[in-house]
Amino acid sequence: MLFERIESEGLAHYSYLIGDTNEAIVIDPRRDGDIYLERAERAGFHIAHVLETHRNEDYVIGSVELAARTGAEIWHADSQWPYSYGQPVEDGQTWSVGGLRLQAIHAPGHTPGMMNYVLHDATGAPWVLFSGDTLFAGSVGRTDLLGTERAEEMAGLLYDTIHDALLPLGDGVIVCPAHGAGSVCGAAIVDRPWTTIGIERQANPALQVSSRSAFIARYAQALERPPYFTRMERLNVEGPPPISPLRVPTPLPPKAFAREAERALVLDTRMEVAFLASHVPGALSIWRGGLGRFAGWFLPYDRPILLVTDGEDPLPVVRVLARMGYDNVVGHLAGGMHAWHTAGLDSATLSGVTVPSLCTYLDEGNRPAILDVRSDAEVQEEGAIRDAQHLPITQVAQHLDAVPRQPLHIFCGSGSRSTIVASLLEREGWRNLTVVLGGTRGWTSVSCPIDLVQRA
């Protein structure tokens, strides 16, 4: 038997490759699909079917290209949308995988036509639930994707799905969701690598809610919606263009890179300390590990993108961006910032301050203007910074007029998001910006004269 979970860097996305007796099924494949072909071939399996749990919003689905390369049939959920590929799944539909049987369950809530899939063992008993964006480890799918006006309706459907269709499958059933911790498709998904219905029944806060009405009140909430979701929704109904083999961006010598940068957006994926010390003027900083969370808020689809990395192979960055529909990465800085410096080109710097240094500065009676870019949830949980202006990172680009044109100390939880914001503001003409390295996590461990005050 073949059973593999494929984890995709950056997006906390899980897809699954299952098979028996030489025939395999892929559930919710990512766009760069070589891994499914390689693993199936290595195990001696042929991919016969590609199944989708729903129309995804946070990444480009890889069904069309995978089917073109294998001859597999595509089965998609959410048949209420005008798909240009595949066939719609029907509630109760089954697929035979050798001696095993996979069955579709209509599971509305996250989307109207969401499908979950139950893998039955050789005795016919439910064994594994592929829950898509319905049930996660420690959380459930968001219900606001059709708009706030339908969130209560969708939350009610999600409650019904969980309690009427999923929990009765039995506590021993393994739950295989489409996302792990860090995904934007559910609030507060926990880092629990494997889980079961029984574990979620006991440990998932959403399953502890006392009634349907209380569940709706809690989970019919509007979460942040990155702008790139709109493009994902379109591509995942129309079918995205193929990307295999994934194109490596052109390595550009520093002076050629500088010329191309005049018409492109420069994306620097190094860690924040390296970016602050020296970067290409006008570059936007998003560290590699943060691309899945933040690229969709700041990167354009209609402008070429140039990469600055640590001098490493740029392909991992290109791969993450391609999964989000960014096919416009055209080049990278050959040799990294070391080559830029040895070419004698101007670079820019931003100030960074450690928490102890900031504490000393404050002890001397200084009171700098503070921009707090943590999320609303963080501020609610951890407390607000006294006298600071709070503007979540996801709102900065749309509300630049709310940011004062004066020297600023920028705070987040650790300094990574602050660096993104500092690079954005610098590109827009702000000067005298200082990133607090360590952020609120750093200063809560020391005695500092800036207070965190609890909001009422």
Q: How many CB atoms lie within 10 A of CB 38?
A: 10
Backbone φ, ψ for residue 14 (5° rounding): -115, 135
- What's the CA angle centered on 10, arms 66 and 302, to 5 degrees? 75
Q: CATH fold of 250-342, please?
A: Oxidized Rhodanese; domain 1 (3.40.250)
Q: State how far the Cα of 26 lies from the Cα of 352, in Å rounded to an integer.
A: 46
Please report, for the chain, the start and end positions of each structural domain, with discontinuous segments joined by +. Answer: 2-238, 250-342, 351-453
Question: In whole angstroms, how far apart are CA 268 and each of 33, 111, 119, 291, 323?
Answer: 26, 35, 43, 11, 18
Q: State how far the Cα of 347 lies from the Cα of 411, in Å rounded to an integer.
A: 24
| Class of the CATH-defined domain 2-238 | alpha beta
Sheet holding 284-285, edge to edge: 250-252, 329-333, 305-308, 265-268, 284-285
Backbone φ, ψ for residue 313 (5° rounding): -60, 125
Q: For the chain, what percentages of helix, strand and coil (3-state, to nearest 5) are there? A: 35, 25, 40
Domains 250-342 and 351-453 share a fold: yes
Query: In which residue are the tokens 């079918």 written?
Result: 239
pLDDT in tens, the chain (456 residues): 999 999 998 899 999 999 999 999 999 999 999 999 999 999 999 999 999 999 999 999 999 999 999 999 999 999 999 999 999 999 999 999 888 899 999 999 999 999 999 999 989 999 999 999 999 999 999 999 999 999 999 999 999 999 999 999 999 999 999 999 989 888 889 999 899 999 999 999 999 999 999 999 999 988 899 999 999 999 999 999 999 888 889 999 999 999 999 999 999 999 999 999 999 999 999 999 999 999 999 999 999 999 999 878 899 999 999 999 999 999 999 999 999 999 999 999 999 998 888 888 888 888 899 999 999 988 888 888 878 899 999 999 999 999 999 999 999 999 999 999 999 999 999 999 999 998 887 876 665 655 666 655
- Do residues 143 and 158 touch, judged by C-beta distance below 8 A? yes
- Among 3.40.250.10, 1.10.10.10, 3.40.190.10, 3.90.1640.30, name the CATH number for the domain at 351-453: 3.40.250.10
